[in-house]
Amino acid sequence: MEADFWHQMWRSGRVGFHQPDVNAFLKKHWKKLNLSGHEQVFVPLCGKSLDMLWLNQQGHTVLGVELSEKALQEFVTENGLQATTLKHPRFSGFEMDKMSLLSGDFFDVSVKECREVKAVYDRAALVALPPEMRQQYASHLKAVLAPGVPILLIAMDYDQSLQSGPPFAVSALEVKALFEDRFNIEKVESDTFERKGVQTTENVFVLIPKT
């Protein structure tokens, strides 16, 4: 996907992918990562997700990365947060108590930014990318994470021929192909529903690093 596509989506307010509530799967399954509650959590392609506030409320610090600075500004403003301007050589964005939001390209995130990350939450990143970019995304994510970092991943699956993305269809088989080299993958829940006239299944995966 071209960066201009996402900037235009946020400028025009066409953000149907934004959820107005905390994700129910996150609240139900986060505990399966067996965290203490004080770790830093990486949220790629975070948008203005309220899930980040929920993670904060559980005691976690949050590192978010998002292409659109407008999305991050809306997150700060709509939630009445006190933020300072991020000082970084490659990203703009915002700093808050227990939260750093980087505005820029996910593929510019390096090991340095992720050195404190102990878990990843992906609800809207993998499914936002077309097939040719998903392998790049998975490879880059694995490259910047330290060993031992678990992931909670939510993916949507449907007949891609019936509907164009984003969000794109990502099957359980594709999740396995992308991540099984480094992770033991467990599908912990599936929910099937109709979305825009197309039968859709949302799958929740817990990815635990192999030892």
CATH number for the domain spanning 170: value is 3.40.50.150
Domain boundary (74, 101, 121) is at: 121
Sign of CA dihedral 61, 67, 71, 72: positive
> Do residues 208 and 184 touch, judged by C-beta distance below 8 A?
yes
Decide if 24 is inside a domain. Answer: no
Among 126, 142, 3, 140, residue whose Cα is nearest residue 68: 3
Alpha-carbon distance values, 81 to 35, 51, 75, 86, 92 (Å): 26, 15, 8, 14, 17
Binding site annotation covers 134? no
Among 108, 111, 106, residue whose Cα is nearest residue 122: 106
Tokens matching residue 18: 């934004």
Our separate counts of H helices and E strands in the chain read: 6, 9
Domain boundary (81, 100, 121) is at: 121
Domain boundary (121, 142, 167) is at: 121
Task: Enumerate residue ranges in the chain where pLDDT < 50.
Answer: 10
Residues 165 and 84 in one domain: no
Binding site annotation covers 123? yes
Confidence (pTM):
0.93
Provide the residue type at 142 as one letter. Answer: K
Binding site annotation covers 66? yes
Upstream peptide bond of 166 is cis (omega within 30 degrees of 0): yes
Binding site annotation covers 186? no
Residues 105 and 170 in one domain: no
Decide if 21 is inside a domain. Answer: no
Decide if 18 is inside a domain. Answer: no
Cite the beta strand spans of 143-182 per DSSP E.
Answer: 151-157
Residues 130 and 116 in one domain: no
Residue 63: give the domain boundaries: 38-121
Residues 135 and 115 in one domain: no
Residues 64 and 109 in one domain: yes
In the chain, the number of structural domains is 2
pLDDT of residue 14: 57
| Count of beta carbons in the 10 Å neighbourhood of residue 202 | 20
pLDDT of residue 165: 84
